[in-house]
Amino acid sequence: MQHIVPKLKKEAKIAVVCGGMSSEREVSLRSGNNCLQALHRLGYKNAVLIDLDENISEKLKNEKIEYVYNALHGKYGEDGCFQGLLEILKIPYSGCGVMADAICMNKEYTKKILSTDKTIPLIKSVFLKSGEDAVEKVKGLNYPLMIKPVCEGSSFGMNKVVNEEEMIKAVEEARRYNPDVLIEEYLVGKCATVGVLENNGKTFATAILELRPKNEWYDYEAKYTKGMTEFVLPAELSPEMTAKIKEIAVKAHKLTNCSGVSRVDFHIVGDIPYVLEINTSPGMTDTSDLPAQALCDGIDYDNLVLLILNSCGLDK
């Protein structure tokens, strides 16, 4: 296990900010409560839980918060909005900064940034803006397709479709979450994810987790319901593929200017590990991927929280 030295004094006033106003609110509350308990076990007795709402500035000021541990998922908390507010308030915060969050929250812009490095494989896709004709847009793609809101997490609004009629309906559903939609070719392969962490100036990838959902693909139910996904950790991959995925994950983390923590999702088809997306505020629930990946590498939950806490800063 890596030696993790606390950077914040034990008496520091830390707010674990969670909940919020996104569709991932309930998951965030679960993450936040777990992180708060870990901070208390680590000796940060002044740590408190704060639910994000439109009065968040007043809450942080009234509590005299010195640092924020970000346990938010989705809109406002994982898209750079909250991070920008904390920059204005001069309150150091954990995890990624404004730019990385804004980029990685948008699946299309993430792909645009990653496409500048030709060694990072990406699935063929089209970007459907509000008002554009989906039928015309997908003419260069092969069915089946995955329909995804461009700025949504936890698989909300995602659907697999096999024909034009299903595609049109799925686009309508995706647009309930976001007017812009990413449409990718659906490829049969292995789902895998890998965490990226930082310690003492070094960026490293965690053990790779292979996900074998009981459902056809890794949807919300499979992600957050115990027993709905088989977790293979470490993933059953060759040493060469393992090294390749970890290298690409760290590369993607740095290319999008992530800091502190991220989780990079892959779809492995044959010998090609396609990058799907980058999560800048990975789940920290009992069934979340990152804590399991870290534990496989000898980093227990409390030390994982400490690593992320150590990333607190500004001007990221």
Catalytically annotated residues:
24, 154, 224, 263, 265, 277, 279, 283
Residue 7, token pair as written in the block? 């950077």
Residue whose structure tokens are 């679960």: 30
What gap in Å lies between CA 138 and CA 11, rounded to an integer? 56
Cα–Cα distances in angstroms (integers) from residue 255 to residues 26, 159, 249, 262, in the given order = 30, 29, 10, 12
And the tokens for 154? 């936890």
188 to 51, 160, 192: CA distances (angstroms): 39, 12, 13
Half-sphere exposure for 53 (CA within 13 Å, toward CB)? 6
Contacts of 239 (CB under 8 A, 6+ apart): none
| β-strands 48-51, 14-18 pairing | parallel
Strand order in the sheet with 67-70: 48-51, 14-18, 67-70
70 within 8 A of 50, measured Cβ to Cβ: no
CA dist 284 and 1 (Å) reads: 20
* Per-residue tokens: 261: 């923590």
- Classify residue 245 by burial, with Cβ atoms within 10 Å: 0-12, 13-18, 19+: buried
Phi, psi of 61, deg, nearest 5:
-70, -45
Count of residues in the chain: 316
Nearest to residue 146, comparing CAs of 118, 174, 119?
174
